Amino acid sequence: MSVAVAMYDKSFEHIESRLNALNHDIVVHTFGDDGQFQINGAAVAPGDVDVDYFWLSSHVNDGKFRGKAFNLVLDCKSVGVLQTFNAGLDNPAYKKISDKGVRICNSSAQAVAIAEYTMAHVLSLYHPIDLQRSQQADKTWKSTPFRELSQTNWLIFGYGPIGQELSKRVKSFGASTSVIRRSPATSDVVDRAGTMADLETFLPDADIVVLACPLNDDTRGFADTRFFAAMKKTAILVNIARGKLIDDNAMISALDDDQLAMAVLDVFHTEPLPENDLLWSHPRVRITPHTSYAGNGARGRSDKLFLDNIARFLKGEPFPDEVPPQDIV
């Protein structure tokens, strides 16, 4: 029995040989920027297409078609499984797709890149690299003390693939790692774990606080005035999850009132961040344009995830990255 797989035409060009190597009767329906499928050389409207497995790859995320991709999934006659390029599924389109009975798998391919992004920014804040460069330019020979990561306590909100990859790296520096997650279970790279009920107990000990949790009704705006009041005044906040986890006014007040030392932000309430937003020019804020995922290994991991999941689909095996419908809100 053949399996109908839908993917962006650029994705098919990229992965065709490896897909063929699976030696299974896979019929690929490609689509282009015009939103039409190409089947047997003819253009076919989405409403006439049944898809067993739909792959929204990193090529879609990077291309011009990104804004239309979700509508294409919704417009298909039927879709069995959707594998997406997103780690978080807070886009309202995912709820609409899930409500149609489509199984959805998210992506862990960007976790390594995001973990490295976080480590790089924290290291650069603790190490006086700019001062060292300035002293080099001035030919100044003077010691530049710095804080070691091994002497820090990290608090990570969320323990999905991103939180797990980050915890490995934090532990390799000899730092202490605490996590806030759904179940208070530790691991060989987690020293302490709790739930959201433990938030105000864990926050005062943390030197670095990383938001890596999903955006949902329980986490929306949870980084508020009370949250920042519980933090160390010397703490660094890193948000690589979703902008709406943070009450921006509360964060800016905390920075201005010396209740928070620094914020590293890769995600925002509105993206792109409006030019008149105060965050752009705040001296204690680092801004990057939602680019923490963009490591050069992410596409290869995304490809492998797709090929592994297709193999599971063909064997009738469960997907490790399938998101339960109740978690898509």
Kindly state the DSSP code that residue 223 receives in the 8-state scheme. B
Cα separation of 8 and 302, whole Å? Answer: 14
Q: Which of 14-18, 33-37, 73-77, 88-92 has the weakest average pLDDT?
A: 33-37
The pLDDT of 50-60, averaged and rounded, is 95
Going by pLDDT thresholds of 50, 70 and 90, the confidence category of residue 65 is confident
Active site residues: 242, 271, 290
**pLDDT one-digit tens code per residue, 243-289:** 999 999 999 999 999 999 999 999 999 999 999 999 999 999 999 99
Domains and CATH numbers, the chain: 3-108+297-327 (3.40.50.720), 111-287 (3.40.50.720)
Q: Which of 216, 219, 176 minimizes the C-alpha distance to 195?
A: 219
Q: State how far the Cα of 33 lies from the Cα of 9, in Å rounded to an integer.
A: 9
| pLDDT-based confidence at residue 40 (cuts at 50, 70, 90) | confident
pTM summary value? 0.95
Burial pattern 70-90, b for ≥16 Cβ within 10 A else e, equals bebbeebeebebbbbbebbbb
pLDDT more than 70, % of the chain:
100
Q: Provide the terminal-to-terminal Cα distance of the chain, rounded to the nearest Å.
A: 34
pLDDT, residue 62, reads 78
Note whether 38 and 31 are within 8 A (CB). Answer: yes
Amino acid at 326: Q
Residues 246 and 225 sit within 8 Å (Cβ to Cβ): no
pLDDT at 314: 93
pLDDT digits (tens, 9 = 90+) for 147-199: 999 999 999 999 999 999 999 999 999 999 999 999 898 999 999 999 999 99
Three-state SS sequence of 126-157: HCCHHHHHHHHHCCCCCCCCCCCHHHCEEEEE
pLDDT band at 35 (very low <50, low <70, confident <90, very high): confident
66 pLDDT exceeds 80?
no
Average pLDDT of span 15-40: 91
3-state secondary structure of 251: helix
CB count, 10 Å around CB of 142? 8
